[in-house]
Amino acid sequence: MNISHIEHLGIAVKSLDEAIPYYENILGLKCYSIEEVADQKVRTAFFKVGQTKLELLEPTSEDSTIAKFIEKRGEGIHHLAFAIEDGVANALAEVEAKGVRLIDKAPRKGAEGLNIAFLHPKSTCSVLTELCEDPNK
């Protein structure tokens, strides 16, 4: 697979309303989008840092995986997302052939209309890893 850059870092927060002022008022970043991703039971807020984004993730339900993450480990960095130049489907096939455990067997739609898939932390040195591609590029 061909990784071009870190697409975003996913950061679990209890409340976007409480977290956004830190990123805007202290770090001077600008939240350019807030989006609910219903099937992941999260509300997301995005900031650009150069080519990379920060994706704040607020759970919208107690059975959201983000709610469970915060309960177990507290707020903090949740996942690392790479931009894949040559397609997420190709990358999944390639790493599966190398024995990597997949959370998503096929790409699905994530926030911002990206095609995304997650690799299992058991196979990624414990860093929940997301592969992304922009279908409009």
Q: Given the rule CB under 5 A, which residues bind Co ion?
A: 10, 55, 81, 130
Q: Which residue is nearest to Co ion (CB)?
A: 10
Q: Do 35 and 16 touch, CB atoms closer than 8 A?
A: no
Q: Could you give the count of Cα atoms lying within 13 Å of 25 in the half-sphere of its Cβ?
A: 6
27 vs 77, which CB is nearer to Co ion? 77
Q: How far is the CB of 69 from Co ion (least distance, A)?
A: 13
81 vs 95, which CB is nearer to Co ion? 81
Q: How far is the CB of 6 from Co ion (least distance, A)?
A: 11
Q: How far is the CB of 72 from Co ion (least distance, A)?
A: 19
Contacts with 122 (C-beta within 8 Å, 6 or more apart), sequence order? 101
Structure tokens at 74: 């507290």
Q: How far is the CB of 87 from Co ion (least distance, A)?
A: 17
Q: Where are the alpha helices (DSSP H) in 1-137?
A: 16-21, 65-73, 88-97
20 vs 55, which CB is nearer to Co ion? 55
